[in-house]
Amino acid sequence: MNNETTNHSARLTKEKGSTLNGDLQVAVGGELHQIAGGQHPALTTNQGVALSDNQNSLRANPSGPTLGEDFILREKITHFDHERIPERVVHARGTGVHGFFELTTSLKQYTTAKILTEVGEKTPVFTRMSTVAGGAGSVDTPRDVRGFAVKFYTKEGNWDLVSNNIPVFFIQDAIKFPDLIHALKMEPDRGFPQSSTAHDTFWDFISLTPESMHMVMWIMSDRTIPRSLRMIEGFGVHSFRLINHLGESTFVKFHWRPKLGLQSTIWDEAVKISGADQDFHRRDMFDAITSGNFPEWEFAVQLFTQEEADTFPFDHLDPTKLIPEELVPLQVIGRMVLDRWPNNFFAETEQVAYCPSHIVPGIDFSNDPLLQGRLFSYHDTQLSRLGTPNFHQIPINAPKCPFANHQRDGQMQMAQPAGRVAYEPNSLSAESPREAPAYGFHSAAVTETGVKGRIRAASFADHYSQARMFYISQTAYEQAHIASALVFELSKVEHVHVRDAIVGHLRHIEEALAKRVALGLGIDELPDAPVAAMPVQEMKPSPALQIIGKMQDTLKGRAIGILIANGSDGAVIEQIRKAATDAGAAVKIIAPNVGDVKLAAGLKLNADGQLAGSPSVLFDAVAVILSDEGVKALSMESAAIDFVRDAFGHLKAIAVDKGGQTLLKIANVGQDAGVLDANDKEAFIAAAKTRQWDREKSVRTLA
């Protein structure tokens, strides 16, 4: 036995230098396997020692113990044991992509920052989009805010614009953040719910924090159940400052607007996507990038002076307020294209460290108290996540411009600064880095006066006016979704006094909304509204706050599923496939089994997806092309029945031939303007570009 084992090991050494050449025989479970030939680098330890056997540990004999001497086993297992680092305390689940930013309009008048003045310059970026509440392994599609963090590797240092897909935040002061997040995340005694705000502690906190009601309106809207990360907006939330060559400063709010327009899912759809594909958004982004359909965003700014800010009916330093586009228009000044998937998820997406304090000369912070707290928090959290103040040396975090200072040593130090001088000023080194007063970072010259204290400005007291503005700006469909989301979330809250308190707040926003939600929760008598710190101001509706108004009439970036079975008509399938592909959609053929489907007239077609694993929630519109034989086979398949029922229930266009129509009847699916003859491809493509909103009242009871 012993001899046999030794022989296997001996046969593994086919080395030429450090490269194994030709076919390799590997001993697995005592048997030899051939592995395809090629130029393989030698498998080595971390110390560069080539391994002769990566399948078997060093044992005293074939039935004896493993030897402690086996440094190869020890190194491998030890490294594996330490593979994980702490996940982000919020925004743990994320998807990162490389790309570039290109400036199209110079802001030279307002800032010295080269990233905002050099038109046509392409600056590399790394963008990470995330959910907030769930852990790193949670699903992509819960109702949640999406993070939208961009690291610009500018010539003047890294600039991190760490944004969300919602322009306001829950709280006005950073000191409340740990409480908010503790209330929002899974409850500490039971460890659930994962990535959902539909539980007591979240709504309890909200009910006692009226400043969060504006953000609550946003998170109850379909903005928090996006169709794709390629179809979300991004908002810097806080006001920042731009500083020009004269030292004058102008306030600025930053915006990202997706070229594909906004699109969201419907709640029931999002719930089902979570089951069908946990990685729905990550996969969608991966597929888009790897197929060359690079998503793009416009970069826009709102610029305003202190004098203009003084005329706003709110305080722009309050992060629970937005500046309506109607008040300060957006100016598009650039674009961002994401075009390269990272080589390695951990090295890049997991280790990327965004900090709002990473800023470049010509841009500065405002006094927003939430932003002020963030300036400290992010750097601090990277120390615990990445374990060292040298995290800026990790390639994904390192500036792409030269950087040098006298900071030294620390864990995982990779740099080897030469020379005896590690301080400044010094007279010993002509090469050591020095201050650059002419172009280095200068803070805005702002005069601060007043009395120190733990203060909330009186100008922050209006908690309901913009919440109302948001609600009345929505279409009737969107208002209904907000009401239904509130009913759903609050129905999961066990404490009745918490439900009542939220309905009380809603009365300040819109009495009719409070009544709808109360009805949905079985509350007979409307609870009293709490005393508002300030009377609600009537503000003009802002249509820019809708999703429906910003959805684009296109199939670009969207997906069409065609359900077929044996005997389906190949010509009709091809007609729909071509029309959808020409319109920019990705098309998938779905059949009871993957592999070849035997079509009519002896044709064959390869299916991309198996029916049970490819429900219609994964598509924006569907076609069902079936022969009599196909309908017969599918009429007993609940996955086929669900396919058409869900497509109808999720307000999608459905194209059918005679067999498809029969399946609709069997599934008890109705007829309307969104159910179309598969031969009328133009009508189907037009309908597929939008949702059949009018259908909604016939498929679900909205609050």
Residue positions annotated with a catalytic role: 91, 164
Which of 275, 261, 206 lies closest to 230 in space, CA to CA? 261
Using DSSP's 3-state secondary structure scheme, residue 260 falls into coil
* Contact residue for ligand HDE among 8, 93, 128, 214 (CB under 6 A): 128
Which of 162, 168, 175, 164 lies closest to 357 in space, CA to CA? 162
Question: Any known ligand binding at 374?
Answer: yes
Instruction: Give me the least distance between CB of 101 and ligand HDE, in Å please.
Output: 17
Q: Which is nearer to ligand HDE, 201 or 351 (CB)?
A: 351
Residue that the structure tokens 């009542």 belong to: 500
As a three-state string, the secondary structure of 182-234 is: HHHCCCCCCCCCCCCCCCHHHHHHHHCCHHHHHHHHHHCCHHHCECCHHHCCE
Instruction: Give me the least distance between CB of 319 and ligand HDE, in Å please.
Output: 6
Question: Any known ligand binding at 101?
Answer: no
| Torsion, Cα of 179, 185, 187, 193 (10° steps) | 160
Distances (CA, A) of 6 to 185, 284, 431, 442, 670: 55, 49, 59, 69, 72
* Contact residue for ligand HDE among 117, 131, 154, 164 (CB under 6 A): 164
Instruction: Give me the least distance between CB of 579 and ligand HDE, in Å please.
Output: 39
Which residues, in sequence order, are bridge partners of residue 152? 125, 159
Binding range to ligand HDE, per CB under 6 A, among 159-167, 433-441, 630-638, 662-670 = 159-167
Instruction: Give me the least distance between CB of 22 and ligand HDE, in Å please.
Output: 45
Q: What is the DSSP letter of 116?
A: G
Question: Any known ligand binding at 74?
Answer: no
Using DSSP's 3-state secondary structure scheme, residue 404 falls into coil
Q: What is the DSSP letter of 587?
A: E
Which of 673, 456, 659 lies closest to 572 in space, CA to CA? 659
Region 87-106 residues binding ligand HDE, contact defined as CB under 6 A: 88-91, 94
Q: Which is nearer to ligand HDE, 319 or 674 (CB)?
A: 319
Residue 351 near ligand HDE by CB under 6 A = no
Q: What residue type is 502 in one-letter code?
A: I
Question: Any known ligand binding at 88?
Answer: yes
Q: Which is nearer to ligand HDE, 166 or 669 (CB)?
A: 166
Instruction: Give me the least distance between CB of 433 and ligand HDE, in Å please.
Output: 28
Query: CB nearest ligand HDE: which residue?
Result: 147
Alpha carbon 16 to chain centroid distance? 47
Token readout for 254 is: 């930053």
Question: Any known ligand binding at 257?
Answer: no
* Contact residue for ligand HDE among 100, 101, 126, 169 (CB under 6 A): 169
Q: Which is nearer to ligand HDE, 112 or 164 (CB)?
A: 164
Q: Which is nearer to ligand HDE, 112 or 197 (CB)?
A: 197
Contact indicator for 478, 546 with CB cutoff of 8 Å? yes
Using DSSP's 3-state secondary structure scheme, residue 30 falls into coil
Q: Which is nearer to ligand HDE, 368 or 646 (CB)?
A: 368
Q: Which is nearer to ligand HDE, 345 or 378 (CB)?
A: 378
* Contact residue for ligand HDE among 27, 237, 486, 625 (CB under 6 A): 237
* Contact residue for ligand HDE among 105, 118, 177, 341 (CB under 6 A): 177
For 203, the enclosing helix (H) or strand (E) is helix 200-207
* Contact residue for ligand HDE among 202, 354, 460, 643 (CB under 6 A): 354
Distances (CA, A) of 69 to 66, 77, 186, 385, 405: 9, 14, 45, 33, 44
What do you get for the CA distance between the two ends of the chain, in Å? 74
* 245, burial (CB in 10 Å: exposed 0-12, middle 13-18, buried 19+): exposed
Instruction: Give me the least distance between CB of 423 and ligand HDE, in Å please.
Output: 31
Angle at 270 between CA 267 and CA 273, to 5 degrees: 150
Instruction: Give me the least distance between CB of 115 and ligand HDE, in Å please.
Output: 19
Angle at 277 between CA 275 and CA 282, to 5 degrees: 140
Number of residues binding to ligand HDE, judged by CB under 6 A: 24
Region 292-331 residues binding ligand HDE, contact defined as CB under 6 A: 319
Residue 147 near ligand HDE by CB under 6 A = yes
Using DSSP's 3-state secondary structure scheme, residue 135 falls into coil
Per-residue binding letters, 366-405, with ligand HDE (x by CB under 6 A): ----x--xx--xx--x------------------------
Question: Any known ligand binding at 577?
Answer: no
Binding range to ligand HDE, per CB under 6 A, among 102-110, 158-166, 562-570, 667-675 = 158-166
**C-alpha–C-alpha distance, residues 238 and 240, integer Å:** 6
Binding residues for heme, as ranges, are 88, 128, 177, 374, 378, 385
Q: Which residue numbers belong to the known binding site?
A: 88, 128, 177, 374, 378, 385
Which residues bind to ligand HDE, rule: CB under 6 A? 88-91, 94, 128, 130, 147, 149, 162-164, 169, 174, 177, 237, 319, 354, 370, 373-374, 377-378, 381
